[in-house]
Structure 1
Amino acid sequence: MVDRPAWHRRVRSVLPPVLVALLLAGGCWSADPPRRPGGSPPAPSGGAAPEGLPAGTSEHTLTVDGRRRTFRVYRPATLARSAPAPLVVMLHGALGSGSQAQSSYGWNAEADRGGFLVAYPDGIRRAWAVSPGCCGPPARSNVDDVGFVERMVSAIASRTPVDPARIYATGISNGGMLAYRLGCDTTLFAAIGVTSATLLGPCPAPAPTSVIHLHGTADRTVPYGGGPGRRDNGGQGAMPADTAGPAVPALIDTWRRVAGCGAATVSVAGAVTTSAATCPEGRGVTLVTVAGAGHQWPGQPGPGGAAARALLDPPSPALDGTAVIWAFFRAHPGP
């Protein structure tokens, strides 16, 4: 019998009451003490965990399934420490990192304006396991990245109040695939925001979830029309990348059926076509199509370097993807 990865065995459940309590009030810190990027962890005083998360960026570690996992948290300096805050989990793409995602997609500035926390987790060897054939070493090793993200959210909530109705996940490419996986395998997130990605692997019984998906019609890595992209290798070898997914409009139709949405309203502004459907309990499912755009995050500089340029196309100036996703998140808290 094949040993399936944890995401394939996961059973959907209601958010545990103990986690809700942690999210609202904080509790015991289950990760290492926070440290500034490049610095050493502060020594605990009198054996107690340091209070709160510092303003700005702090770095943290968790041990999940015997693996040391790392992530960053950005806290705006003006964010109140007493009221529960929204949390956005930003998932980097293949060959990326939490640090790279933080510098590439404008979420810190959006958090300053919108008043929310941002978490930037790191995939093992710069990739995420989202299906048996994708992606890279985490897929080959059956890494439970869904479990890691859930543990990370709980750890953040143990240090600062987090609003359980306003926890969101977003990502690009392989990170967007993990955002879809989180929508399939958990009930933790009020909404997910996906850029240049698709759903891979089984998703037989997802709960109704708000979804916004941004995609370029000229994306050759994750084709808008579905099927394998230019880096697909059928899930073979040391770096498996079976990226063949459904056509993006069909995928969005599936999430609309799950959420019981009404007919979509379509609007066009230059190269951008927005198809937005309203769903029961305040949910929504929106597809933003960017004509002529490739594999990229619209309106943000993206990562630098030759490797990044080989993976990603120039960003479309037709819209600011970060602002669009956050506006959607803000309008769609959990019921």
Structure 2
Amino acid sequence: MTKPLPTVDMFEVTRLTRAGRLTEAMAMLRGTDPAAAPAGAEAPADGPRTLDLTPPDGDDAVWTLSGATARRAAGLAEKSLPEGMKAWRDRLPPALGDGDADRYGPAVAPGARFETRTFTNEAGSRAYRLYVPSRFRGAPLPLIVMLHGCTQSPDDFAAGTRMNEVAEEHGILVAYPAQSKSANASKCWNWFNGADQQRDRGEPSLIAGITREILAAFPVPAGRVYVAGLSAGGAAAAVMGETYPDLFAAVGVHSGLACGAASDVASAFGAMRGGASGGSPRRASGKGLPTIVFHGDRDSTVNPVNADQVIAQAQAEAALPTTVSQGTTPAGMRFTRKVATDAAGRAVLEQWTLHGAGHAWSGGSPAGSYTDPNGPDASREMARFFLQAAPGA
């Protein structure tokens, strides 16, 4: 009879490893009492019993293992994982570890700036990165606010989406707010919390505050501010469109969920598996913003039905003329594109279904995590949709 796998708190294992407490971490992985683990298990008998640690970089960072200690810890962890857990781990989407993607660095054109800033209000404080294209000379430019997915950082997200390159081509400002580990251990935006789905409260107030801070510092025309995101960031973008329709002119949701699809952690997992309970949540604002959606039909992290619910929530009118087209990228990925237009013939809803794709930014660069270079270029298509669907005054 197969012995059942132990229940392991991987967040606690990670915390103990980062704190240099490898004995306890290994004991947890083995399913034994940490207090019963033999002393000195962190190092081989013939090696030094010291830990190479890298000091924290920033308020939300932690001490991390480095050098030979990091390699030894990785080897011990690999040996200690039960076979069933290894199989579970290998099924996870391919994401780079914290900081790994940042070593590639996002594109910054000569003469452009990629600034690091911080915004603070009653809800807390968030760092953010701002890309200022080289062509900026004081004339008004549009702004796109990009919300990263879980475990990602602004640099990782910028590198993977290549949105800086698109911004350089079109002359666009791009902001990348950073979720902090103190707010969510996996750096996910808390789109599923009721308090983080309301205007002027929680994370929506922080993202809106960052946006307004940029508007105060740079000449951005009214009606030329857009928000987009991936996964948890895509769900947060949908929240921003619903709670701040006066601030954002259009929304891009990649592999995300509709605003109000969940109200807590339990319902979040349910929505990710099968969409919002009872179908698409009602619009909070009563005003549907132009919305573009990308979603892989093989996404096992966020069920593709959520893409339909995002579109349904954004649809302001009962019926809109819709055209459907299909295509294949040069890399061989098939896709279906649905475009709904308003009475003036302007595209207001656009849905891309990526056939065979999983949970990753379509057309992205392998320099970042959660990207699929084989798909259509979501960054360029979003920028095109934003500038055409909501051209502003």
Structure 1 length-normalised TM: 0.68
Counterparts of 1:1-335 in structure 2 under 5 Å? 55-65=112-122, 67-81=124-138, 83-125=139-181, 126-132=187-193, 144-187=202-245, 188-201=247-260, 203-225=283-305, 247-256=306-315, 258-259=316-317, 262-270=320-328, 271-280=334-343, 282=346, 284-302=348-366, 304=368, 308=369, 312=370, 315-333=372-390, 334=392
Separation (CA, whole Å) in 1 of partners of 2:357 and 2:339? 20
Summarize the Cα distance change of 1:160–1:250 in structure 2 as closer, same or farther, 3 Å threshold. closer
What's the CA shift for 1:64? 1.8
Rg (Cα) greater in structure: 2
Summarize the Cα distance change of 1:266–1:70 in structure 2 as closer, same or farther, 3 Å threshold. same
> Residue 258 of structure 2 contacts residue 313 of structure 2 at CA under 8 Å; is this kept in 1?
no
SS, match of residue 158 in structure 1: helix
- Give a deviation string over 1:306-326, Cα, whole Å, max 9, x none: xx5xxx4x5151311111111
Aligned partner of 2:40 in structure 1 is none
Separation (CA, whole Å) in 2 of partners of 1:131 and 1:259? 26
Summarize the Cα distance change of 1:147–1:211 in structure 2 as closer, same or farther, 3 Å threshold. same
Separation (CA, whole Å) in 1 of partners of 2:355 and 2:228? 21
What's the CA shift for 1:182? 0.6
> Residue 88 of structure 1 contacts residue 170 of structure 1 at CA under 8 Å; is this kept in 2?
yes
Equivalenced residues, count: 249
Aligned partner of 1:243 in structure 2 is none
Q: Supply the AA of the counterpart residue of 1:213.
A: V
Structure 2 length-normalised TM: 0.59
Q: CA RMSD in A?
A: 2.6
SS, match of residue 162 in structure 1: coil
SS, match of residue 73 in structure 1: strand
Kindly indicate whether structure 1 or structure 2 has the higher relative contact order, using CA contacts under 8 Å at least 6 residues apart.
Answer: 1
* Unpaired runs of at least 5, structure 2: 1-56, 58-110, 182-186, 261-280, 329-333
* Sequence identity percentage: 29
> Residue 277 of structure 1 contacts residue 285 of structure 1 at CA under 8 Å; is this kept in 2?
yes
What's the CA shift for 1:129? 1.8
Separation (CA, whole Å) in 2 of partners of 1:209 and 1:261? 15
Q: Greater share of helix residues, 1 or 2?
A: 2
> Residue 347 of structure 2 contacts residue 389 of structure 2 at CA under 8 Å; is this kept in 1?
yes
- Give a deviation string over 1:264-302, Cα, whole Å, max 9, x none: 100011311100001256451010111110000111125
Separation (CA, whole Å) in 2 of partners of 1:55 and 1:288? 31
- Give a deviation string over 1:210-252, Cα, whole Å, max 9, x none: 0000011000000113xxxxxxxxxxxxxxxxxxxxx422431
Separation (CA, whole Å) in 2 of partners of 1:303 and 1:200? 30
Q: Which runs of 4+ in 1 moved over 3 A?
A: 202-206, 280-283
